[in-house]
Structure 1
């Protein structure tokens, strides 16, 4: 499954794909979210979990130009991004 196909899935199917086919990498706190980073089919995606509502609100492809990149690279090395 390519990134474009993944982006077109419903939120439910994205969640299912992450937990069945993805590999959890790490998580960060970002504003009101716990953001889990996954590697799935060769690309990274972020799952934004809101603890107060106990829901994953969105899942988006990881953009290495995003400001959250520093939070991840402070914790682990992400060689596939560079």
Structure 2
């Protein structure tokens, strides 16, 4: 479960609403998948263990505060499985 982060604007997305297509990469804090959500091509990043939860929350907080054409747009998060 992801706790509410003060001052952060993003949507609570139901994982069932996402059509996951394929894994495209693996990083330090999880796996990235290509997916479709509300008719848009999106990237979904999932964490693989509870040890990655704090890094996930930091990334969620940082992405929720920026809006720039050179930075990936955060649409929201899922809490089961934990994903952005």
TM-score range, shorter chain: 0.3 to 0.5
The higher-RCO structure (CA 8 Å, 6+ apart) is 2
Q: TM-score, normalised by structure 1?
A: 0.40
Q: TM-score, normalised by structure 2?
A: 0.39
